[in-house]
Structure formats: structure tokens, C-alpha cells
Structure 1
């Protein structure tokens, strides 16, 4: 089996372990995010399965690169290099989409009632999503309790314990006690946190993809030239070696 530089071999193996950890982080990000509320309020095609797919692909590529580096497999490393090139290029697309998404969210924060329909005119599916969100987040209405136009649902009503904790307010519609916080600011804050986390993940993937391309390219080059001669630098002689002279034995004088 061809031999490569041991430091490069273990460096690429450790790199792929870190790359797999990034994939696990992306999957965890999908598990902890509330995409149902975001989709129901902002009509975005954002699903947890998207994060599961991206995280799984990252982990498969990391395993491929780790196996190729550890076993010094040229085929696995070439396939890993191709995946790194395509993956780095693909980071531009989600980055652009996320920039558009953030500008849209910022415009909705500045103009919350632009194109917004009252809850009594919304579709039953959207009303159900908002009511579930109100019960979990303890809020009422997207922007205020007036979104319900007097038809305040039970999900907005406060309990006695919530009233004692100061989370409620009394409204004119039947003197009901409802949650004082609106739901949209809570969702908007979560969306911005989600944006920052996803953007950091994509930037990390782009940097790791570039590093993986460099490491795998060097290792593939070493595997293609296993019998390359080793060049040793020798210092040129600055002095001539002493010449050997013939030694003559001098006989001692004779004594008669």
C-alpha cells in the first residue's frame, strides 16, 4: 500500500471528524427550531427535513473522507474532493436565499400590518397554528390582541397564576384577561437567532470545504507518486580532501 505523509494523513482524518460534528450541529439545529410557527405566520417553505438532509449529507461526506484518509484510498479521496468542490459552490445559493429572507423579515418588522389580515378572516389552518402558538408562547395575537377583532379565543386567556405573575392585561372585549405580549416579536427574535445560526453553519462549511479541498488534493498527489525519488540536499565541498602521500621508512644508521 502506498505510503503518504503520516501528519497529513491524521490531519485529514481529524478534519473529517470535525466536519462530521458540523453535520450533527446542523441536525440538532433542525430539531430545536420551531418551523411550524414560522411557516404558519410567514408562509415560508422552511422544514426541519431540509436541515436533516443537509446534516446527513455532511456526515456521509465526512465519513467518506475519513475512510479515504485512514485507508489511503485514492478512489474515496477523489470522490471526497469532488464533493468538497460541489459543496463549496453550493454554499452561495443558501447564502443568497438567507439574505433575501432576512431583508423580508426586517421589512415585516418595520411594517407589521402591511398585507396582514385580521385573524377572523384568516384561513382555519392559519388560525389553528396561531392558537397553538399562543398557548405555548403565552401571547395573544400576532401584533396585538386586536388582531382577533373581538373574537378572542380561549388560547389568549390568562390563568390566575399568570395574572399574579403580571403576564396579562384586561381588554374591553367582555373585560377578558389576555396575555399582554404579542406573538410576532417573539417569533421575530427566534427567526433572527435561527438566521445567525444557519449563516454561521454555512460559512463554517464553506471554510471547511476549502480546507478539505487543499488537504485531499495534496494527499491524492502523494498517492499518485508513491515511488517519487526523495531529494536530499547536500552541502558542496569547500575544501579539498588531503592527498595521501607515500610513506617511506627511514632506516636508522648502522653502527659498526
Structure 2
């Protein structure tokens, strides 16, 4: 006989199947990211560490979802208790990591601005720093960190606009700068936007998405805690067999034990 409410049981199973699906999606995206970045040798140690973390997160999420769905379907108390413990730990970890990140988010822009200011002027930066900025300028279509003057007059070719964008004033602009030859000044079409505001837009976007994911997972973990706790309580205290009370038979009075004596004799004269 089922000891868990059927509506609660179906809701919990659906919740955990969705949880398992999220874990499977994380694993698939991780495999895709590994295939795409397989040929890149830059910063391979950090890439491997990130992929391992994603694999672990996806596998744990999928296994917990399957464990919770199995425990609800079979009404297995041990599986539900393990699931509850994992949800408690997961919610604490998510809240512990999410709250400090949310507090530090407004300070990210100031921190990065200070760090990038240390690279100025860019024409005096190290080779690795110049390589980083040049790659950013090429991919983001920008020039300089805060302005094209960050390069002084030694503006690199990564700032040059393609010829088909020369007429677009909002994207490109004409400047007079030196390039490799100090004695030769020439007019050039370069990207008009600096890189730092564009970079900050993507950094804050990633931070907001990450915070949304963390707090969403924390809310799901709390919901899983509540549902699993109710199911464990129902398994520990199942509904008792209802007691059937017999309705007593309606009492039908029998003949009186005595009858009033009536004098049928005629009254005396």
C-alpha cells in the first residue's frame, strides 16, 4: 500500500527528472566545450581545471536527480534521506558562494579598472600584455583600454578598421598616428570604442548569469529539501488503517416488565 501522497510523489519525481536533465545538459555542453577548445594550447591548465569542475557538477546533479526520483518511485527511505542530506549541503554551498559574490559584484568594475590602469601606457607594456590587449582589440573591435591614446602614437594594426567599415562614423574614426616609423605620420581609420567598457559589459553579464544560476540552484535545493522532508515524514508515520466503528443496533424497547394494573371492574354503586 502506498504510504506517500500520490500528488506529492508525482511532483517530486518530475522535479528530480528535471534536475537530472539539467545535469545531462551540463555534461553535454562540457563535452562540446572540450571538443571545441581541444586545439588551443593557451592556459591549458586552467581550461582542464574548469572542464573537470563542469564534469563533476553535471555528474553530481544528474545522479542526485536520479536518486531522488528512484527514492520517490520506490518509496525508499534511505535514498530519500541521502537526497535530503545532499540538498542541505548543496543549498549551504550555493548560498555561501552566492552571497559574497553578490556583495562583491559592485566592486568588480573598480577593481578591474585599477588593474588595467597598471598596464598603461600600452606601448611600454610587456610582450605578453600587448598580446593580450591585441587579441582583445581584434575580437571586440575596439582600440585601447580606455582610449586609443593608451598606445600613445604607436597604435597597433589590431586597432585598424576593415575597409568596408570606414564610412561608419560610430564604429571607426580617423586619427593621425605613428606606426613603427616615428618619423612618418599618417591618417588611419581605427575603432572608435575603447575595450574596457565592452569588456566590463561581458564581465558583468557573466557575473549576473552566474549569480542567477547559483541562487536558482539554491532555491531548487531548498525546494528539494522541503519535498523530501515531507515524504520522509510520511514514510515514518504512514496513515494508519482507519478504525471502523460498528453502529450499535437501534434499541427497540421490549414489552414493559410490568404493566399498570387497570381495574376493569365497574365502579361500585
User: TM-score interval w.r.t. the shorter chain?
Assistant: 0.7 to 0.9
Structure 2 residue aligned with 1:207:
219
Structure 2 residue aligned with 1:5:
5
Q: 2:172 aligns with which of 148, 168, 192?
A: 168
1:128 is the counterpart of 2:140: no
Structure 2 residue aligned with 1:241:
250
1:141 is the counterpart of 2:153: no
CA apart distance, 1:147: 1.8
CA apart distance, 1:107: 2.0
Q: Distance in 1 between matches of 2:197 and 2:29?
A: 21
Residues 129-178 of structure 1, C-alpha deviations (whole Å, 9 max, x = no match)? 32222112211112111222222221111111111333211122132211
Change (3 A) 1:128 1:91: same
Q: Distance in 1 between matches of 2:120 and 2:243?
A: 78
* 1:178 aligned counterpart, secondary structure: strand
Please say which of residues 110-119 and 211-220 is displaced more in the overlay.
110-119
* 2:166 aligned counterpart, secondary structure: helix
TM-score, with structure 2 as normaliser: 0.70
* Structure 2 unaligned residues grouped into runs of 5+: 34-45, 178-185, 256-269
* Conservation of the 8 A alpha-carbon contact between 2:102 and 2:211: no
Q: Distance in 2 between matches of 1:160 and 1:185?
A: 24
TM-score, with structure 1 as normaliser: 0.73
Give the superposed CA RMSD: 3.7
* 2:176 aligned counterpart, secondary structure: coil
Number of residue-to-residue matches in the alignment = 232
Structure 1 residue aligned with 2:204:
192
Structure 1 residue aligned with 2:77:
74
Change (3 A) 1:123 1:92: farther
Structure ID, larger Rg = 2
Residues 31-71 of structure 1, C-alpha deviations (whole Å, 9 max, x = no match)? 89xxxxxxxxxxx99x8535554344323322221222223
Q: Distance in 1 between matches of 2:148 and 2:56?
A: 38
Query: Deviation above 4 Å: which 4+ runs of structure 1?
Result: 21-32, 50-53, 108-114, 231-234
* 1:172 aligned counterpart, secondary structure: strand
Change (3 A) 1:114 1:240: farther
1:230 is the counterpart of 2:241: yes
Q: Distance in 2 between matches of 1:152 and 1:231?
A: 87
